[in-house]
Structure 1
Amino acid sequence: MTAARRRWLATVLALVAAVTVAVAPGSAGYAAPNPSPSPGAPKEKEVPLLGDVLESTGRQYAKAKAVLDKSRQRQLQMNIRLQAAERRVEELRPQVTEFATESYRAGRLTPMVAMLGASDQSGFLEKATALERLNQYNAARLNALIAAEEEVAATKAKIDAAVAEQKAAADSMAKQKRTAERELDRVGGLSLTGGDVVATSPKARPAPRSADGGWPDESCNQEDPTTGGCVTPRTLHAYKEVKRAGFKRFVGCYRSGGPYEHPKGRACDWSLRTSGFARASNRDEKMYGNNLAAFLIRNADALGILYVIWYKRIWFPATGWKSYSGDSDHTDHVHMSML
């Protein structure tokens, strides 16, 4: 083969390789993650509890809470409408009663009555016109009263339906709470350990919700700023809000292996140090973890937090803090899992 032939063949093979890469399946959108490992990333063994119960129960609890919150907002709006309609009824009812009583006492005014009482044709037309306007005015007040009373009845029915919806949502939340407490007992017991919610913690900007107030399912399609893997849009939003709140130390989110939410791009481990992971060794590191956990919990509803694990405790929206003795005691990082 000549040198020119070899150069031509090499060029063709290079072009074929380039085209193959360009049209390879999955090349559109976010590329498959190839993350660099986090230094000393915490090891976790899979426990069916967290893989199943906290996932399913947490989502059902969040869904019921979203229904409850939205129903309460609708009820508040309907109560305002009800009060306005009832005020309108109270304004109109005396007016309608007044002209109804007057009509009964004086007899119904008709064009014939107006004609008999008129001295001439001109007087008749004036009285008939005035009578028509009076009847229209009274009819309008009567129709307004009827419409206001109908709105009162309809709004009360909607409020009753909202109350029933709220009861169903509250019952569902209570059921999820019982389920979570029963299953959490298998991991760490049911002893309450107090709360780390601090009213002075920064407030996070809320993550986008669906039209019904719930949390839409999201795929791992955003670049993970911590490992080179992928995270969901909601996880990325929470990551940015934690950073914006001043927690700047090391963090690792996506991991290709292991259980729970890390491989789904729905979890981050917030270290207590500027690099790597090591157990809290002084008051500063322990307070950093306390403050970070407090921030996550205070803003759990705004960010879409599924659960938080920190220093031998787990926080779940349905149960609050519980003691936790999983494979990792989480004394070297604050774990954040997202819905």
Structure 2
Amino acid sequence: MTAPLYRRVPFTAALAAVTTLLAGLVVATPAAAQDPSDEGAQPLLSDVIESTNRGFVEAKAAVEESRKRQLQLNLELEKVEERLEALTPQIGEVASNSYRLGRITPVMVLLNSASPDDLLDRAEGLDMIAMHDNKRVRELNEAREQAARAVAAIEAEVTREEQQLEVMSRQKKEAEKALQLVGAVATNGFVSATSPVAAQAPRNANGSWPSESCSLDDPTTSGCITPRTMHALNEAKKAGFTRFVSCFRPGGPFEHPKGRACDFSMQSSGFGGDATGDARLYGNNLTAFLVRNADKLGILYVIWYRQFWSPTTGWSSYSGAGGDPSSDHTNHVHLSLL
């Protein structure tokens, strides 16, 4: 890549929650410049990041699903109301038939019939009118019941949305507290409207992310990764980010031992020191690509060049890093997935 694919944009507090936690995450002892196996992380903050950020993303998915459901229910209600409007005038005709025919008894039908055939014809006619009227009354009642169910379902979805928004707000506050503890500061970060668009990773029917195990062979190591990690890795390569990558590690911080994290080096092999020039640009572009496609890839957070990003808080800096390329994340982009 020869031209910048990213631009800096102001930090927005719209999606503010867990990335802030990553701020404190990077305060470990320095690691070797050639190997990010010790990226540095406070275990407690790592746990908080995992639980809070995951909770925020799940609540966000529930809100989006609830709003889709509300839209569907409102469309259904509109159709039912149109049907009610069409059926209501017909009930006046039913009432009129009832008034005109309701006092006609079998005896009157018999007395006013000139012949047995005439009697049968008149009786069948009355039955047809009654059946037609009963059908219209039944349709009206069914439409009313359907409308009532739709209204109740909409109210339930609104309540569900409000509950999930409260969850998101609570996760945001917890993340902000952690951010204050580690002295992280909101930054402009790396965002690009021209980054390639990744393919959507599989989600559950309700929009949430399925739980996945470390079930696939990691093409970058002798370990394993989850299907979602494999998808993100392949999408990044498809977008042109083909330099050295290492995903699974049996120990250490972040999601590496779970097969849910990858370190993207700025070099063709190994990791090296601080990225500059073309290597720095490569990292900027890769980070912008990951952030733009976070919803499609199921990203938990991204760390690059003393800054980190999550769906909850956007971009923030972190303080107290180890002062080396590994713990400062200046020689590789760290990607963690849900």
Provide the TM-score with structure 1 as the length reference: 0.81
User: Structure 1: how far apart are the matches of 2:130 and 2:212?
Assistant: 62
Shift of 1:222: 1.5
The CA deviation at 1:114 is 3.9
RCO greater where, 1 or 2, for CA within 8 Å and sep 6 or more?
2
Query: C-alpha deviations, 1:34-87, integer Å up to 9, x for none?
Result: xxxx99222322313541111111121122122222222222222222111111
Is the 8 Å Cα contact of residues 266 and 332 (structure 2) preserved in structure 1?
yes
Q: Cα deviation per residue 1:114-136 (whole Å; 9 max; x = unaligned)?
A: 44443333222212111111110
Q: Gapped runs of 5+ residues in structure 1? A: 1-37
Q: Secondary structure at the match of 2:249?
A: coil
Distance in 1, matches of 2:183 and 2:317, equals: 5
Q: Distance in 1 between matches of 2:295 and 2:203?
A: 11
Q: Answer whether contact 1:49 1:184 (CA < 8 A) is retained.
A: no
Shift of 1:292: 1.3
SS of residue matched to 2:89: helix
Tell me if structure 2 keeps the 8 A contact 1:39–1:275: no
Match of 1:174 in 2: 169
Q: Give SS of 2:159's match.
A: helix
Residue 182 of structure 2 corresponds to which residue in structure 1?
A: 187
The question of whether the paired residues in 1 share the 8 Å contact of 2:66 and 2:161 is answered with yes
Please tell me whether residue 287 in structure 1 is matched to residue 286 in structure 2.
Answer: no
1:123 paired with 2:118, answer yes
Question: Conserved in 2, the CA contact under 8 Å of 1:110 and 1:131?
Answer: no
Which stretch shifts more, 284-293 or 206-215? Answer: 206-215
Summarize the alignment of residues 213-232 of structure 1 with structure 2, pairs less than 5 Å apart.
Answer: 213-232=207-226
Tell me what 2:145 maps to: 150
Q: What's 2:333 paired with?
A: 334
Q: Could you say what secondary structure the match of 2:130 adopts?
A: helix
Does residue 95 of structure 1 match 2:94? no
Task: Indicate the residue corresponding to 1:135 in structure 2.
Answer: 130
Q: Which runs of 4+ in 1 moved over 4 A?
A: none
- Whole-angstrom distance in 2 between the partners of 1:302 and 1:154: 34
Paired AA for residue 250 in structure 1: F
| Stretch of structure 1 that moved more, 67-76 or 89-98 | 67-76
Over aligned residues, Cα RMSD in angstroms? 2.2
Query: What corresponds to 1:19 in structure 2?
Result: none
Distance 1:181 1:49, change over 3 A: farther
**Alpha-carbon distance in 2 for matches of 1:196, 1:97:** 66
* Matched-pair contact (CA < 8 Å) for 1:85–1:152: yes
For residue 250 of structure 2, the aligned residue among 256, 259, 275 is 256
- Alignment partner of 1:161 is 2:153: no
State the distance in 1 between where 2:304 and 2:187 align: 12
Counterpart CA distance in 2 for 1:226 and 1:193 is 32
Amino acid at match of 2:282: Y
Whole-angstrom distance in 2 between the partners of 1:129 and 1:222? 72
After superposing the two structures, state which structure 1 stretch, 262-271 or 323-332, moved more.
323-332
For 1:322, which of 310, 316, 321 is the aligned residue? 316
Q: Which amino acid in structure 2 is aligned with residue 263 of structure 1?
A: P
- Report the 3-state secondary structure (helix = DSSP H, G, I; strand = E; otherwise coil) of the residue aligned with 1:185: helix
Which of 84, 89, 94 aligns to 2:79? It is 84
Provide the secondary structure at the position in 2 that maps to 1:89. Answer: helix
Match of 1:302 among 284, 296, 302: 296
Instruction: Give distance in 2, aligned partners of 1:187 and 1:315.
Output: 15
Q: Take 2:331 and 2:296, find their aligned partners in 1: how far apart are those partners? A: 26
Give the secondary structure class of the aligned counterpart of 1:337: strand
CA, structure 1 residues 195+151, in 2 after alignment: closer, same or farther (shift >3 Å)?
farther
Q: 1:196 to 1:86 in 2, by over 3 A?
A: farther
Which residue identity is paired with 2:335? M
Normalising by structure 2, what TM-score?
0.82
> Which one of the candidate residues 214, 218, 233 is aligned to 1:239?
233
Change (3 A) 1:65 1:158: same
**Taking structure 1 as reference, are residues 290 and 97 closer, same or farther at Cα in structure 2, changes over 3 Å only?**
farther
Q: For 1:214 and 1:329, locate their aligned partners in 2 and report how far apart those are by CA, in whole Å.
A: 32
Q: Which amino acid aligns with 2:286?
A: L
The alpha-carbon deviation at position 200 of structure 1 amounts to 2.7
Matched, 1:61 2:60: no
Secondary structure, counterpart of 2:181 in structure 1: coil
Q: Which 10-residue stretch deviates more, 284-293 or 227-236?
A: 284-293
- Which deviates the most, 66-75 or 195-204? 195-204
Unmatched segments (≥5 aa) in structure 2: 1-31
Aligned length: 299
